[in-house]
Structure 1
Amino acid sequence: MNKKILEKLLSKDQKISQRKLAVDLGISLGKVNRDLFTLKKFEYIDTNYNITKKGKDFLQSNHPQRAIILAAGYGMRMVPINTEEPKGLLEINGESLIERIIKQLHTVGIKEIYIVVGFMKEHYEYLIDKFDVKLIVNSHYENYKNMYSLFLARNYLKNSYIIPCDVWFKENPFVNIESESYYLFSKEQVINSKWKVQPRGGVKKISSKESGDRMVGLAFLNNHDGKSLENLLNKANQIPNLFYNFWEEILEQNRKFILKGKIISSDSFKEINSYEELRDLDYNSSHLQSDSIKVIENVLKTDLNGINNIKVLKKGMTNRSFFFEHNSDKYIMRIPGKGTDELINRHNEFETYEAIKDLKWTENILYLNPNNGYKLSKFIKNAKNCDPNKLQQVAKCMTLLRKFHNSNIKVNHRFDLYKQINFYEELRGTTSAYRDYDEVKERVKKLRSFIEKNIKREVLCHIDANPDNFIFSKNQLYLIDWEYAGMQDPDIDIAMFAIYAMYDQQKIDELIQIYYCNQCDLITKQKIYAYIATCGLLWSNWCEYKQSLGLDFGAYSIAQYRYAKEYSKKVLNYLGE
């Protein structure tokens, strides 16, 4: 049944011939005859080709009235672009993805548009004035997937399109009349889809061994299905874990896909999920030239085509980094994370890397900017982090740490532990979330004189001696990421390793004896305990500051505070205080 004929008949101001319908709609006269016969059969028109009440009701109930654009996500795979602009505002041929979608919606008369924003939400604000859209703010975009975004827009699902912000359609995918609800699939076969569209539009679930039709992300919901999905989202709100899924998960009910499937060709759209996909679609896009890409081009003497296989590395506590390949080599580009400028002196870091550049067991630094913290380094192949629960690996890490300390490398800056505690307190700016914080801090302060009295020497220390920063690669062990390094007592690195590994006292004692080759005296052991308490308070404050920026480190945060509380008591008991 041709919906466009029905629309044409509704808007006619005079009798329209079958021939004129064929010309206006660009279809054959025979198809016009067949479609008119079907419309009469369903009683949408009468024998004189006048549209009936049933036909008008059909058009009304299947006329898209609004659209919801999902644009809250971080877009992890878009590094390095997503450090400067959210995905929806990436430009293709001089036009942002989201503006193109809005203009396509306007073409078919849809002006009621809701955009769910989160990451860099302020960048979308101008759309309110330019297109009279409404913004819905998703404050949980970092944790939940887009099902939560759709939940926030659940009141606008009836007769609505649902649209991802990162899809570029060659032709306008929206129309004035939709005959039924649907979800859009592509003919492309992919292994991460469990659905396949059948000839009549049904969507069949397939086995995990099969490839399914690619899910595009666009859908239309009529009045009935919009209400049904709203009810499902309200139920999902009672089970918050569901919000960790993409919204398409809710379309599976009782192992069945609740919408019809609609297929488009794979060359009629592009989903922009990565730097390389943007480059392939528009090589001249202004967003391809980020500061970090310019660094890579200059250092490696290459261009955009020489930067391939970009992948986000695990989101670190301090930085965002991405992996890429150039020719046959692999590299890591570090981009400082949120709030990092407050935490780290990049000029001190630069001095440290200059001091250790001749060591064979640190990362190979090709570029380090002391002003913005951008760092380009060679990727360590076949790498794995130290497992703190495997004593054989820990022993090798302590041997390397002892070797480093004995090299007596010096720099002109010092890591002042107590000064840093006060600094992090100032950064968090509010009272600590821990009710007995003042009492615990007072105990930690009492340890200072004991620590300073028993420092035997100061050398360059790593400070951030996290097991994750000890990297095994074949027969080589590396110690990487020297952001916090400075002059200090070598025993501080032992304490740092222990609290990062979240060791209990038995494992801490084993670690101390491994470093000291079973020759650690009681005073030194108690001093390391004192460092554990003091460093625990340091990182506890660091975590509270980071939490004020929206970052959460889970059990690690509480563990650091427990070290401060419990080990300050141990040492003060030993000292008889």
Structure 2
Amino acid sequence: MDINKFKLLNYYYNLSVNRKNILLDKRTEHALNNQQIEEKLVAEGFLSNKKPTNKGIKALEQYKVDNAVILAAGSATRFIPLSLEYPKGLFEVKGERLIERLIKQLQEAGITDITVVLGYKKEMFYYLKEKYNIKLVINDEYQSKNNIKSIECIRESLKNTYICCCDDYFIDNPFNQYEYVSFYAGYESTEIPTEMYATIDNDSKIIDIRKGHNGNGEVLLGHTYWTADFSKRFIECVENDKEGKYAQKFWEWLVKDNLSNLPNFYFKEYSVNKIFEFDYFEQLRAFDHEYIGHAHSEILRNIKLVFRCDEEDIVNFRPIKEGMTNTSFIFQVDGTDYIYRHSGDGTEEIINRRNEKNSLITAKKIGIDPTYIYMDVNEGWKISKFIPSFREPDYQNFEDSKKIIKVLQKLHSADLTADYGMKPWEDAVAMEQLIKGKDPHCFDKYENLKQKVEKLYAKTINDGIQKCFCHGDTYKHNWMIEPNGRVYLIDWEYSGYSDPGIDVGYYIVDAMYNFDTAEKFIKTYLGDNYNSVTDFHFTAYVAIIAYYWFVWAMYRESCGAEMGESLKNWRCMAEKYADYLLEKESR
């Protein structure tokens, strides 16, 4: 049976089982307008009175869809700010949750074996299992790998399978009990630079895939369908990727690079404005006007209250990559950019937001951080001015280091006190206990490092170095150097009345300076106060603060964060400087 006969027979089958609101692809529309195709189906005994015969239904059975997979593991970072509160699949569009609409459309088409792959805020999806009698699979690596990992998680389920993203939105129902070939849905479109496009031949077979397109082209958008053979070959390609070349990429890139090794893959064209995918909040606002005035977002409500504006006045949302404790984004009100800081999970256990707010007010008064606007001490969110043009310090440029040192000297010499402050050794021990509550033996292999750092800390306790007001988190992402030379220090979560070695030491730690460069930095900071005692103290604090951040990273990972290389770097710097000083002392 050729594809045109299949399309028409499949259409009449859907009508015979009382399917409603069917979204027709262009090829089916063409077959409906060709009387000869229907006449051939009748003549061959597949169709009678516009209904499939038993022979027709039997012919369709070889093309039966086995199941469907919905990918819902991603954190949708481009969908700031809503994605900070809900996973994208649970957004309501036109009064219906995206993922529930997809599940219902699949079930209405006769697809009952449905698996949803979860990751980000997975617990919020659990209700779907009982409500719709579906299966849930967890992708624990969603933070570090792209959606190829989600497909790997359900590899045993891949047969004749629909694969959808949880943010696919179809005006009508595009799913069928029967599909003829492997395909990717889409439509002809002018340039959408963020989407993938296909080059197709005269039979609609995809012969190339690329990102973006000049002029009209076939944009790939919506669901895809893989035959069992295609599924098998795709997984073989994944297994052959021994070096993890595609781990950080969307699955489409693997298909693009292996089109010649995979079974034929076709473009299934639909009319424009029938398939939607919401990558950005502004796209959703344009589609569903309910989101213009009332997005049911606490974050937008917070901004609205601070600026005394309407929700529709808050626009142009952009995520910010930096930030290991929290998630931040840029937004605009009345043409001016601001930054909203959203507290990370688990931070309430280790950060006192009331103290942070006091420090922000203090830092603004002395001119070191003029960006602060408002902070909520109960929930931890903060709004700051956005500095449009700045750079971070270059760790390899000592002229930049001098600029940093000048600000630290100003801060540490200011006549400021506080009844709170960072105690890196004691705080690290306290965080260790929090982590051990989840895994009692997780620190066993680091006991030797802990003992070395404790020895160094004990030697610094009564050496005469006075406490002062400190920042506590002086890595380069918290520094801003404007074109005019002004230097700002932002983000005061770990600040307070503490040891100045914390600020000096952490800059050295994050720069991963060798001993000579660290000594040069410390000497420049201390000036006339440099001697053997102060040199030991500040060098010891390189190891102490590195150990603190190493334990902090362990704690953050126990809360579900992905710390990557930072955890390893902090441990290495703690080991390196502890060994260096203790060996020097033993000579």
TM-score, length-normalised on structure 2? Answer: 0.87
Look up the SS of the partner of 1:196 in the other structure. Answer: strand
Structure 1 CA distance for aligned equivalents of residues 493 and 376 of structure 2: 12
Of 552, 557, 569, the match for 1:542: 552
* Equivalences for residues 400-419 of structure 1 within 5 A: 400-419=407-426
Question: Which structure 2 residues correspond to residues 77-476 of structure 1 after superposition, within 5 A?
Answer: 77-188=78-189, 189-192=191-194, 193-205=196-208, 210-211=213-214, 212-236=217-241, 238-254=242-258, 256=260, 258-285=264-291, 288-429=295-436, 430=439, 433=442, 437-475=446-484, 476=486
How far did 1:50 drift? 10
Cα gap change, 1:459 to 1:254, in 2 (>3 Å): closer
Look up the SS of the partner of 1:400 in the other structure: helix
Matches within 5 A, 1:457-496: 457-475=466-484, 476-496=486-506
The answer as to whether partners of 1:355 and 1:411 remain within 8 angstroms in 2 is no
- State the Cα deviation string for residues 95-135 of structure 1 (Å, max 9, x = none): 10011111111222221211111112221121111111111
Q: 1:350 offset after TM fit, Å?
A: 1.3
Q: Indicate conservation of the 8 Å contact 1:413/1:487, yes or no.
A: yes
How far off is 1:249 after superposition?
A: 2.1
Residues 147 and 361 (structure 1), Cα distance of their counterparts in 2 relative to 1, 3 Å cut: same
The number of equivalent residue pairs is 563
> Which amino acid in 2 is paired with 1:201?
S
Which residue of 514, 522, 535 maps to 2:532? 522
SS in 2 for 1:67: strand
Contact 1:363 1:479 in 2 (8 A): no
CA displacement, residues 40-92 of structure 1 (integer Å, 9 cap, x when unaligned): 78x56499999789854541122334211111111111222222221111101
Distance 1:183 1:27 in 2: 18
Aligned equivalents of 2:14, 2:89: Cα separation in 1: 36
SS in 1 for 2:337: strand
The equivalent residue for 1:20 is none
- The one-letter code sitting in structure 2 at the alignment partner of 1:513 is K
Q: Is the 8 A contact 2:197 2:220 kept in 1?
A: no
What is the root-mean-square deviation in Å for CA atoms of aligned residues? 3.1
Task: Determine the C-alpha separation between the residues in 2 that align with 1:72 and 1:264.
Answer: 27
Identify if the C-alpha distance between structure 1 residues 541 and 7 changes in structure 2 by more than 3 Å, giving closer, same or farther.
closer
Q: Distance in 2 between matches of 1:490 and 1:128?
A: 53
Residue identity matched to 2:285 = R
1:206 is displaced (CA, Å) by: 7.1
Partner of 2:25: none
Letter in 2 for 1:84: E
Query: What CA distance in whole angstroms lies between the structure 2 residues aligned with 1:28 and 1:261?
Result: 15
Seen in structure 2, the aligned counterparts of structure 1 residues 201 and 499 have a Cα distance that, compared at 3 Å, is same
- 1:251 deviates by 2.1
Conserved? CA contact 1:197–1:262, under 8 Å: no
**Maintained 8 Å contact 2:208/2:256:** no
Name the counterpart of 2:9: 6
Rounded to whole Å, the distance in 1 between the matches of 2:388 and 2:337 is 8
CA spacing shift, 1:530–1:247, aligned 2, 3 Å: same
For structure 2, the residue ranges without an aligned partner over 5 or more in a row are: 17-27
Is there any run of 5+ residues in structure 1 with no aligned partner, and where? Answer: 14-25
Structure 1's 49 and 543: CA in aligned 2 closer, same or farther, altered over 3 A? closer
Deviates more, 1:480-489 or 1:197-206: 197-206
Q: Does the aligned pair in 1 maintain the 2:137–2:154 contact within 8 Å? A: yes
How far off is 1:191 after superposition? Answer: 3.3
Question: 2: distance between equivalents of 1:28 and 1:291?
Answer: 48
Q: Is the 8 A contact 1:68 1:114 kept in 2?
A: yes
Q: Aligned equivalents of 2:29 and 2:555: distance in 1?
A: 65
How far apart are 1:297 and its partner, in Å? 0.8
Identity among equivalent positions (%) equals 29
In the alignment, which residue of structure 1 is the partner of 2:22?
none
